[in-house]
C-alpha cells in the first residue's frame, strides 16, 4: 500500500497529517481569541434547516424529521449558516461569528469536501471595508499561528502581510482575459464571443452565468492572490444574489471574494435587506436549478421575513479548512480534516 492509499485512521497516514491538524487547532484558537477581543459573540447555529440555501449550483443533503405519529417534515443540512445567522441579526445581535459545520453534496477534490467548516461573521451597521480588513487580519493571524508566516498552495506563495491587491471584476476580466465585461453585462452571446476570442470556449447557447464562470475559473482565478492577497470585488448583480446593489450603479453589487495562491478563501457581502428583491432573486435561482438539475429547494419564509427586519450589515463566509490548508502548507483539504468523509475523491 502506498502512503496516499492508506486509510486516514492508519497510524502512518495520521502521522503524516498530524502537524497540519495541530496547526488547525492553533489557528482556530488564535482566530477565536481575535473575535472575542473585537467584541464579537460566538454562535452555534443549527445545521438542520427548512431550506439549505437557494443558490442554483449548490447541492444539499436531504433529511427528514419523523414525529411519533409518523408524520415527516422534510429538512436539509445547511450549505452555510447564513440564513440562521441573519435571523440572529434580525433578533438584535450586532457582531457575531460561528465556526459552523456546513454540507455540500457533489463536492470533493483537493480543496473541496462535502462536510467542512465555514467561519462566518457579521458586523451590523458597517460596510465592506470593515469586513475586508477583518479578512486580511484573519489571514495574517492564521499564517502566524501555523508558524509558516505565509500562505502556500502547490508552488504558489502569498504573503498575507503585504498590502492586498484590490481588483474589480471589470478590471480583472480586461487585465487577464482581454474581455470587456461591462460591455456584455446582459449579452450572453456577446460575452461568449469575447470569451472565445480569449481562448475560452463554451457550449452553444450557454447562459451568461456559465460563460462568466468559465472565464473566471480558467483565466482570472489562477492569477489572483499571487504574492499577496487579492480582493476581487464589484460583482455583476446577477452573481451576487444576497448582496445589495451599489447605489451609484445598480448593475453591480457590493460583493467581494478573497484569494490567496489562486484559491478562493472568502466571500463577503454588504447584505441585502430588500425582502421583495430577495424573494425575486431566490425564486429565479430555483427556476434555474429546476431547469438544469430537475430539482428545487423551498424558500425559507422565515428567512425572507427576517431579512426585512435586519439592520444594515456586512458579512463574510470564509472556508476555514482552506485557510488552514494554505497556512500549514498542506497539499489537500483532507490533510486538515480530523476525520475526512469516506467518499471517492477525498483521500
Among 265, 252, 241, 280, residue whose Cα is nearest residue 318: 265
- Helix then strand then coil, in percent of the chain rounded to 5, is 40, 25, 35
**Is residue 333 exposed (0-12), middle (13-18) or buried (19+ Cβ within 10 Å)?**
buried
Q: Enter the pTM of the model.
A: 0.95
Q: Which three cell numbers stand for residue 142?
A: 492564521
**What is the rounded distance in angstroms from the CA atom of residue 328 to the CA atom of residue 285?**
36
Helix-helix angle 301-309:82-91, to 10 degrees: 40
DSSP 216: I
**One pLDDT digit (tens) per residue for the chain, 347 residues:** 455 678 999 999 999 999 999 999 999 999 999 999 999 999 999 999 999 999 888 899 999 999 989 899 999 999 999 999 999 999 999 999 999 999 999 988 888 999 999 999 999 999 999 999 999 999 999 999 999 999 999 999 999 999 999 999 999 999 999 999 999 999 999 999 999 999 999 998 889 999 999 999 999 999 999 999 999 999 999 998 789 999 999 999 999 999 999 999 999 999 999 999 999 989 999 998 999 899 999 999 999 999 999 999 999 999 999 999 999 999 999 999 999 998 776 65
Strand 165-168 relative to strand 230-236: parallel, antiparallel, unpaired?
Answer: parallel
- Residues 145 and 27: beta-carbon distance below 8 Å: yes
Amino acid at each position: 500500500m502506498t502512503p496516499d492509499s492508506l486509510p486516514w485512521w492508519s497510524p502512518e497516514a495520521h502521522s503524516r497529517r498530524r502537524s497540519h491538524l495541530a496547526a488547525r487547532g492553533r489557528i482556530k484558537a488564535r482566530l477565536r481569541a481575535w473575535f472575542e477581543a473585537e467584541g464579537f459573540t460566538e454562535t452555534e447555529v443549527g445545521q438542520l434547516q427548512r431550506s439549505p440555501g437557494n443558490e442554483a449550483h449548490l447541492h444539499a443533503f436531504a433529511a427528514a424529521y419523523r414525529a411519533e405519529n409518523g408524520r415527516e417534515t422534510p429538512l436539509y443540512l445547511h450549505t452555510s449558516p447564513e440564513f440562521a445567522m441573519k435571523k440572529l441579526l434580525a433578533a438584535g445581535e450586532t457582531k457575531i461569528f460561528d465556526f459552523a459545520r456546513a454540507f455540500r453534496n457533489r463536492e470533493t477534490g483537493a480543496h473541496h469536501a462535502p462536510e467542512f467548516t465555514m467561519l462566518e461573521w457579521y458586523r451590523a451597521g458597517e460596510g465592506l471595508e470593515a469586513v475586508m480588513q477583518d479578512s486580511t487580519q484573519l489571514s495574517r493571524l492564521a499564517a502566524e499561528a501555523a508558524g509558516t508566516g505565509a500562505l502556500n498552495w502547490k508552488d504558489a506563495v502569498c504573503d498575507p502581510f503585504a498590502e492586498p491587491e484590490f481588483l474589480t471584476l471589470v478590471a480583472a476580466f480586461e487585465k487577464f482575459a482581454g474581455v470587456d465585461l461591462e460591455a456584455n453585462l446582459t449579452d450572453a452571446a456577446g460575452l461568449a464571443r469575447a470569451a472565445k476570442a480569449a481562448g475560452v470556449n463554451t457550449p452553444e447557447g450557454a447562459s451568461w452565468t456559465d460563460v462568466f464562470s468559465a472565464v473566471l475559473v480558467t483565466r482570472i482565478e489562477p492569477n489572483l492572490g499571487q504574492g499577496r492577497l487579492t480582493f476581487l470585488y464589484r460583482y455583476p448583480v446577477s452573481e451576487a444574489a444576497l448582496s445589495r446593489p451599489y447605489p451609484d450603479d445598480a448593475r453591480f453589487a457590493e460583493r467581494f471574494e478573497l484569494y490567496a495562491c489562486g484559491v478562493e478563501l472568502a466571500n463577503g457581502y454588504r447584505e441585502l435587506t430588500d425582502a421583495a428583491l430577495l424573494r425575486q432573486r431566490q425564486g429565479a435561482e430555483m427556476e434555474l436549478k429546476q431547469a438544469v438539475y430537475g430539482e428545487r429547494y423551498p424558500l425559507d419564509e422565515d428567512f425572507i421575513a427576517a431579512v426585512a427586519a435586519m439592520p444594515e450589515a456586512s458579512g463574510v463566509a470564509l472556508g476555514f479548512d482552506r485557510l488552514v490548508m494554505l497556512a500549514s502548507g498542506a497539499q489537500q483539504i483532507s490533510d486538515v480534516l480530523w476525520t475526512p468523509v469516506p467518499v471517492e475523491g477525498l483521500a
